[in-house]
C-alpha cells in the first residue's frame, strides 16, 4: 500500500471535511451539507464515511479526502498529503515529498515568510519597535493580543534581506517573495520598512503574506500589502480566516470588518469570527470561503462614505452566495476597534447581535439617496431595491418587506407585492440529474448490495460470469468495470469510478448513498435472491459452467471460491 492509500485509510473524511463544511448526519454513514465548490441554498453535497468519498449532486464535484483538500485549499497533491499527515500525526516517507521546481519554490516561500514573521516579531519587542509598541498601546492592543496575532515591526533600515541571504534562500525565490526587492546593482533591500506588520495566514494558520502600516506621517502608502505570489492569491484570502472557523461554528455567523485593526478589536471583544479583506475590495472567492463556515454574515464596515459604498457592494456578493445578511451600524462615526475601546466589548457584541436585516439598511440608504416625496424619487428607489428582492425567496418575508417599504415610499402595498413577486421569479438551483436506470428492481438491488457490502462482493463476484445479461443492461458499464477486477478482494471504489462515464459515476454515487441498506440484515441472502430472480440463461449450460469453475478453483487452491460456487451449483440443481 502506498502512502496516499495508507493516509486515506487512516483519516476520517467526515472529520476533515467537517472542519471546513458544516455537515449534518443523514444516514448511518452519510452526511450532507452545502457544497463548498458552488453556490447553493439547499445541501446537495454528500459525504460517505464508510466509503470515504464525497459527491455533490449539484455541481458534480467528487473525490476522496486528498482531492478535497487539493480543491478546497488550492494546493498540489503533495501539499495535500503533507497537510493531512501533519494534521493527523502520520509520519510521511521522505520519498513522497515533491522535488519538482514549483514545489521547491512554494516550500522556500513558506519558509521565508515564517522567517520574516519571527524577525518582525523580534523587532517589535526590541529597541527599534518602541514607536510601534506605543501605537498599539494607544489603540488598546496589549502585548498578549499582539503576540496572539504575531504582530511585528519592520526596521526602517531594513535587515530582512540580509537575514534571508544568510539563511541560504535562493535568489530566484527571494525575487518573487514580495518580501525583498533587487536593485539594479544586484543588491537586495527590504520591501517593508518602518511599518507595523500584520502577518496574513492561509486557512492552516501558516504565514503567506504581510500587510504593513506606516508609522510616520508622509510614508506612503499608509498601508502596504504583499503582492501576489504562488502561495498568496489575495482575491481568495481574508485576514484572520484561519481563526474564524471555530467562532463561526459556535455563533452561526461570520462578521466582516474593513481592516486589520478592526479584526483585532473585534477579537478582543470576544468575536473571533471576524475577518477582513486584505487591502482589496471584497471578492466572490473570499465570500465563498466564508460561506463554507456559516449561513449568516454580519457586515460591519467603517461608517464613512467609502465604508457605506463597500457595504452596499458586499451585500450583493453575499446574497449571490446564499448568505443571510445583516448590517451592523455603529453610532458616533467609530470604526469597530474604536467602538470597542470607547464602549466596551458587551456593547459591540450587542450591536452585532441586533444588526438590522440588509434590506432595512438598503431602504434607509435609498431614502437618503433619492427624494421619495416625488414620483421620480419613488421610482428610483424601487429600481435600486428591486434587484435585491430577487434574493428573498420566502413569501412571508417578501410580504413584510412590501408592507414596510409601502409605508416608507407612500405607495400601495399590493402594487409592491406584485413587483416583488416578479423580481423574485426565475430563481432555482441547477442540480445534476441522476440518470434513470432501466433495469429490473432485482438488478438495482444487487448493485446497491454489491457496492455496500464486502461480504456480498465475496459471494457475488465469482458468480457474475454466469449472468451475461447483466452486460447488456443499462447498468452494463458498472458491471464491466466490476468484472475488470481480478477478484472481490481487489475491488476499490475509486478505481471503479475512474473507469466510468460521468452519468454512470453519478448513478453509482446515488446508489452508494442508499442508506436504507445500511441497517438491513442478511445482505448475502438478499443478493442470492436477486441472482435467483435475474436467472442466467440455459440452466443446463449454467450447471456445466459452474462445475467447470469449481474444478478450476480447486486446482488453484481457491477453496473458499470453490465452496461459494458449489453452493450456487447446489441451489440450481435443487431448483431444476
CB atoms within 10 A of CB 13: 22
In this structure, the strands spanning 274-277 and 62-63 are unpaired
CATH fold, domain 3-96, is DNA Primase; Chain A (3.90.580)
Q: Which residue has the cell 494558520?
A: 205
Q: How many helices (H) and strands (E) does the chain have?
A: 27, 17
If 0-12 CB within 10 Å is exposed, 13-18 middle and 19+ buried, where does residue 4 land?
A: middle
Is the Cβ–Cβ distance between 400 and 363 less than 8 Å?
A: no
* pLDDT at position 494: 74
Instruction: Tell me the per-residue pLDDT of 327-378, one tens digit each, with 9 for 90 and over.
Output: 999 988 899 999 999 999 999 999 999 999 898 899 889 888 998 888 788 8
Residue 383 confidence (pLDDT): 82
d(CA 333, CA 571): 85
By the 10 Å C-beta count (0-12 exposed, 13-18 middle, 19+ buried), 93 is classed as exposed
CA dihedral 213, 215, 216, 217 (to 10 degrees): 40
Phi, psi of 163 (to 5 degrees): -65, -45
Give pLDDT, residue 95: 54
pTM of the model: 0.68
Contact assessment for residue 337 and residue 265, using Cβ atoms and an 8 Å cutoff: yes
* Cα–Cα distance measured from residue 499 to residue 60, given in angstroms and rounded to the nearest whole number: 16
Gap between the Cα atoms of 523 and 362, Å rounded: 58
Give the pLDDT of residue 547: 83
Q: How many CB atoms lie within 10 A of CB 551?
A: 12
Residue 57, number of CB atoms within 10 A of its CB? 21
Q: Which fold has domain 236-354?
A: Dna Topoisomerase Vi A Subunit; Chain: A, domain 2 (3.40.1360)
DSSP 21: S
3-class SS of residue 412: coil
May I ask the CATH class of domain 361-424?
Answer: mainly alpha
Closest CA to 266 of 365, 354, 335, 167: 335
Secondary structure (3-state) at 277: strand
Question: Can you tell me the distance from the alpha carbon of 251 to that of 377, in angstroms, rounded to the nearest whole number?
Answer: 40
Specify the residue for cell string 425567496: 393
Is 195 in contact with 224 (CB distance < 8 Å)? yes
Extents of the domains making up the chain: 3-96, 101-232, 236-354, 361-424, 441-537
Q: Which residue has the cell 441498506?
A: 517
The full length of the chain comes to 576
Distance CA 95, CA 74 (A): 23
| CATH number, span 101-232 | 3.90.980.10
Per-residue pLDDT at 454: 84
| pLDDT reported for residue 422 | 65
Same-fold call for 3-96 versus 101-232: no
pLDDT string in tens for the chain (576-residue length): 578 888 888 899 999 999 888 899 887 788 999 888 887 777 889 999 888 899 988 888 889 999 999 888 777 788 888 889 888 888 888 654 556 788 889 889 999 999 999 999 999 999 999 999 999 999 999 999 999 999 999 999 889 999 999 999 999 999 999 999 999 998 999 999 999 999 999 988 899 999 999 999 888 999 999 999 999 988 889 999 999 988 998 899 999 999 999 999 999 999 999 999 998 899 988 998 898 788 899 999 998 889 999 999 999 899 888 889 999 999 888 999 999 999 999 999 999 999 998 988 998 898 889 988 887 888 888 888 877 766 666 677 777 777 777 777 777 666 666 666 666 555 555 555 555 556 678 888 888 888 878 888 898 898 888 888 788 887 888 889 999 998 888 888 778 877 888 778 777 777 776 655 545 567 888 888 788 777 754 466 567 767 877 888 888 878 877 888 888 788 777 765
Query: Cα(first)–Cα(last) distance of the chain, in Å?
Result: 45
The predicted structure's pLDDT at residue 417 = 67
Q: How do residues 241-295 score in pLDDT, each as one tens digit?
A: 999 988 998 899 999 999 999 999 999 999 999 999 998 899 988 998 898 788 8
DSSP structural state of residue 94: G
Find, among 342, 340, 344, 355, the residue nearest to 297 by Cα. 355
Identify any residues that bridge with 298 across adjacent strands, giving them in sequence order: 255, 326
pLDDT value of residue 138: 94
Sign of CA dihedral 258, 261, 267, 272: positive
Rounded to the nearest angstrom, the gap between the alpha carbon of residue 249 and the centroid of all alpha carbons in its chain is 14
Residue 259: HSE in the Cβ half-sphere, 13 Å Cα cutoff: 17
Please report the pLDDT score of residue 276 as a whole number: 97
Q: How far is CA 558 from CA 485, 542, 563, 569, in A?
A: 16, 20, 9, 16
For residue 567, the surrounding DSSP H or E stretch is helix 559-575
Amino acid at each position: 500500500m502506498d502512502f496516499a492509500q495508507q493516509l486515506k485509510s487512516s483519516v476520517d473524511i467526515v472529520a476533515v471535511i467537517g472542519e471546513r463544511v458544516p455537515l449534518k448526519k443523514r444516514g448511518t454513514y452519510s452526511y450532507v451539507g452545502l457544497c463548498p465548490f458552488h453556490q447553493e441554498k439547499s445541501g446537495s453535497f454528500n459525504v460517505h464515511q464508510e466509503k470515504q468519498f464525497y459527491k455533490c449532486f449539484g455541481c458534480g464535484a467528487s473525490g476522496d479526502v486528498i482531492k478535497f483538500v487539493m480543491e478546497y485549499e488550492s494546493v498540489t497533491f503533495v501539499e495535500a498529503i503533507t497537510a493531512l499527515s501533519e494534521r493527523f500525526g502520520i509520519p510521511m516517507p521522505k520519498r513522497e515529498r515533491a522535488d519538482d521546481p514549483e514545489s521547491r519554490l512554494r516550500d522556500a516561500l513558506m519558509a521565508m515568510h515564517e522567517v520574516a514573521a519571527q524577525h518582525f516579531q523580534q523587532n517589535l519587542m526590541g529597541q527599534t519597535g518602541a514607536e510601534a509598541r506605543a501605537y498599539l498601546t494607544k489603540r488598546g492592543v496589549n502585548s498578549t493580543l499582539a503576540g496572539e496575532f504575531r504582530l511585528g515591526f519592520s526596521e526602517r533600515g531594513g535587515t530582512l534581506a540580509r537575514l534571508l541571504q544568510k539563511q541560504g534562500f535562493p535568489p530566484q525565490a527571494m525575487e518573487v517573495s514580495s518580501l525583498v526587492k533587487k536593485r539594479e546593482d544586484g543588491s537586495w533591500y527590504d520591501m517593508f520598512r518602518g511599518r507595523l506588520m500584520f502577518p496574513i495566514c492561509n486557512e492552516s494558520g501558516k504565514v503567506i503574506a504581510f500587510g504593513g502600516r506606516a508609522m510616520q506621517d508622509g510614508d506612503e502608502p499608509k498601508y502596504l500589502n504583499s503582492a501576489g505570489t504562488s502561495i498568496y492569491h489575495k482575491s481568495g484570502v481574508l485576514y484572520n480566516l484561519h481563526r474564524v472557523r471555530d467562532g463561526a461554528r459556535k455563533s452561526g455567523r461570520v462578521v466582516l470588518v474593513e481592516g486589520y485593526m478592526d479584526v483585532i478589536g473585534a477579537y478582543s471583544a470576544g468575536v473571533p469570527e471576524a475577518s477582513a479583506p486584505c487591502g482589496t475590495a471584497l471578492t466572490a472567492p473570499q465570500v465563498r470561503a466564508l460561506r463554507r463556515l456559516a449561513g449568516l454574515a454580519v457586515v460591519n464596515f467603517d461608517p464613512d462614505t467609502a465604508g457605506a459604498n463597500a457595504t452596499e457592494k458586499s451585500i450583493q456578493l453575499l446574497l449571490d452566495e446564499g448568505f443571510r445578511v445583516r448590517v451592523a451600524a455603529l453610532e458616533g462615526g467609530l470604526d469597530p476597534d474604536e467602538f470597542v475601546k470607547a464602549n466596551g466589548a458587551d456593547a459591540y457584541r450587542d450591536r452585532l447581535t441586533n444588526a438590522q436585516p440588509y434590506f432595512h439598511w438598503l431602504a434607509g440608504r435609498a431614502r437618503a439617496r433619492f427624494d421619495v416625496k416625488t414620483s421620480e424619487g419613488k421610482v428610483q428607489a424601487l429600481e435600486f431595491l428591486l434587484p435585491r428582492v430577487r434574493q428573498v425567496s420566502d413569501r412571508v418575508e417578501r410580504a413584510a418587506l412590501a408592507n414596510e417599504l409601502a409605508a416608507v415610499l407612500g405607495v400601495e402595498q399590493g402594487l409592491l407585492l406584485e413587483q416583488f413577486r416578479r423580481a423574485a421569479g426565475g430563481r432555482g438551483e441547477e442540480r445534476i440529474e441522476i440518470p434513470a436506470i432501466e433495469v429490473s428492481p432485482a438488478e438495482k438491488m444487487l448493485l446497491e448490495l454489491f457496492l455496500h457490502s464486502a461480504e456480498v462482493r465475496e459471494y457475488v463476484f465469482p458468480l457474475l460470469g454466469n449472468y451475461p445479461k447483466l452486460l447488456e443492461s443499462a447498468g452494463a458499464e458498472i458491471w464491466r468495470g466490476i468484472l475488470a477486477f481480478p477478484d472481490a478482494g481487489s475491488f476499490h471504489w475509486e478505481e471503479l469510478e475512474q473507469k466510468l462515464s460521468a452519468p454512470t459515476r453519478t448513478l453509482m454515487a446515488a446508489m452508494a448513498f442508499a442508506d436504507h441498506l445500511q441497517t438491513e440484515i442478511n445482505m448475502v441472502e438478499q443478493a442470492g435472491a436477486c441472482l435467483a430472480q435475474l436467472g442466467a440463461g440455459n440452466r443446463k449450460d449454467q450447471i456445466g459452467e459452474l462445475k467447470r469453475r469449481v474444478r478450476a478453483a480447486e486446482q488453484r487452491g481457491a477453496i473458499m471460491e470453490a465452496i461459494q460456487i458449489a453452493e450456487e451449483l447446489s441451489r440450481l440443481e435443487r431448483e431444476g
